[in-house]
Each structure stands twice: as C-alpha cells, then as structure tokens.
C-alpha cells in the first residue's frame, strides 16, 4: 500500500477500488482502463455514502494497492467492505462481446460473515434492478474459469468463495462488477456520466441500508 500507515480510526464503509496503475485490469471498448472506471465509480459512491451520514475509507485511490490482501488488512477495523470493479469476458469470446452485458455481485462462503454479506449483496442487487440495470449471467456459464453458482439468480448475486478480498475481509464483504465494459453499449450504460450517477446512487443506497441494519 505504498507508505500508508495503518488506520487509527474505523470507518463504516471501506470502498476498495479494484486494480491499480500497475495492474489496470480490463480495457474497455473505448480503450479506457478498468482501474480508471473503478476509481470514478468509487469516488461517487464515497460521496453519496458520506452525504448519508456514514464514514468511509477509499482504498487504492492513488493506484498503488498492488497486493490484494493489503486491501483487507488496511480495512480490518471497518464495518463493511465493498470492492468495485467493471467486467470483461474471456479473450476468445471478444467477437461476441455485444452478447454480454449487466452487473454481477459476488460474495464468499469463506468470509467470516457470509450471511450478512449475502444480505448486503441482495440489497445491492435490488437497488441496481430498481435503477433499471440488469444482472449478467456470464459468470454462471458452465465453461472453464466461470460456473459461479448463483446465491440469488434474480438479483445477480453469485458465490465466489476464493476471491481474495472477500475471503480475507474481517467484516461482511461484497464485490460488484458494474457492467461489461468490453461491450460498447454496456460501457456507455455504466461509464457515461448519467450511467455512473445512476449506478453509484443504487450502490450507495444499498450500502447505507446495509450498514443501518448491521
């Protein structure tokens, strides 16, 4: 985590910005790095959660969070861990990118609080659906590297037990893939200013509701 010192005060919500400058993640249809999109979404979620009266901690905003377990160590005292990402598909499927769109929400049975993680994930799925976004079925496909079972198919929530930030988090933890950014239409849907405003409002509202219920 660079020269960051261990936090002295706990926050209500730790917002983990997926990827880093060194490992920027997927490249969007328009050529934007996933890290850039993750950070832009996280900054909006952060502002909305703070306006709702909750304290937050942004993790990885400077782009130097290269070790995944450092992220959960840094958030160890916080109440809820939320990791924000944007999705891609397998390289060999890129010619079919237009077929894949929508959000995915992940939780882990290896997290210390799987039931609470599931409750928070369902709130996120509900708010995203209410905002007009649709869940992707991509990660449930029975192909090598995918096949993530649904915890709630209607709400787009999957079990992914070995995701490091989910299983090592010291609090309930949820990872959100906001949209499939290798699909030009889906990138616009979630990466435009209006799309990011809508999806950040949905995620922030769900996070605040989850925290109030904890």
Q: What was the pLDDT predicted at 12?
A: 98
Q: Per residue in 2-42, pLDDT tens?
A: 444 456 689 999 999 999 999 999 999 999 999 999 999 99
The mean per-residue pLDDT over the stretch 59-85 comes to: 94
Q: Per residue in 172-198, pLDDT tens?
A: 999 999 999 999 999 999 999 999 999
Position 101 in a domain: yes
Domain region containing 30: 13-212
Position 7 in a domain: no
Residues 6+ apart with CB under 8 A from 9: 77
Position 4 in a domain: no
Position 53 in a domain: yes
How far apart are the C-alpha atoms of 119 and 107, rounded to whole Å? 10
Q: What was the pLDDT predicted at 8?
A: 61
Q: Per residue in 103-128, pLDDT tens?
A: 999 999 999 999 999 999 999 999 99
Position 170 in a domain: yes
Both tokens assigned to 179: 């949209």
Position 22 in a domain: yes
What's this model's pTM, rounded to 2 decimal places? 0.95
Q: What was the pLDDT predicted at 145?
A: 83
Position 45 in a domain: yes
In the chain, how many domains are there?
1
Position 79 in a domain: yes
Q: What was the pLDDT predicted at 3?
A: 40
Q: What is the CATH number of the domain that holds 199?
A: 3.40.630.40
């Amino acid at each position: 985590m660079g020269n960051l010192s261990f936090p002295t005060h706990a926050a209500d919500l730790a917002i983990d910005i997926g990827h880093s400058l060194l490992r920027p993640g997927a490249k969007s249809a328009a050529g934007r790095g996933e890290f850039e999109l993750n950070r832009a979404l996280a900054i909006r979620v952060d502002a909305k959660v703070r306006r709702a009266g909750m304290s937050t901690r942004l993790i990885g905003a400077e782009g130097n969070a290269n070790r995944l377990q450092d992220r959960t160590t840094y958030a160890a005292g916080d109440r809820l861990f939320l990791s924000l990402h944007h999705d891609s598909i397998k390289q060999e499927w890129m010619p079919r990118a237009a077929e894949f769109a929508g959000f995915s929400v992940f939780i882990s049975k290896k997290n210390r609080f799987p039931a609470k993680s599931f409750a928070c994930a369902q709130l996120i799925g509900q708010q995203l659906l209410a905002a007009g976004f649709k869940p992707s079925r991509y990660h449930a496909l029975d192909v090598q590297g995918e096949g993530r079972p649904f915890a709630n198919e209607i709400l787009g929530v999957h079990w992914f037990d070995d995701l490091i930030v989910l299983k090592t988090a010291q609090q309930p933890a949820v990872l959100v893939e906001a949209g499939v950014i290798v699909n030009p239409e889906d990138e616009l849907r979630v990466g435009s200013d209006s799309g990011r405003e809508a999806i950040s409002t949905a995620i922030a509202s769900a996070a605040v509701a989850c925290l109030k219920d904890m």
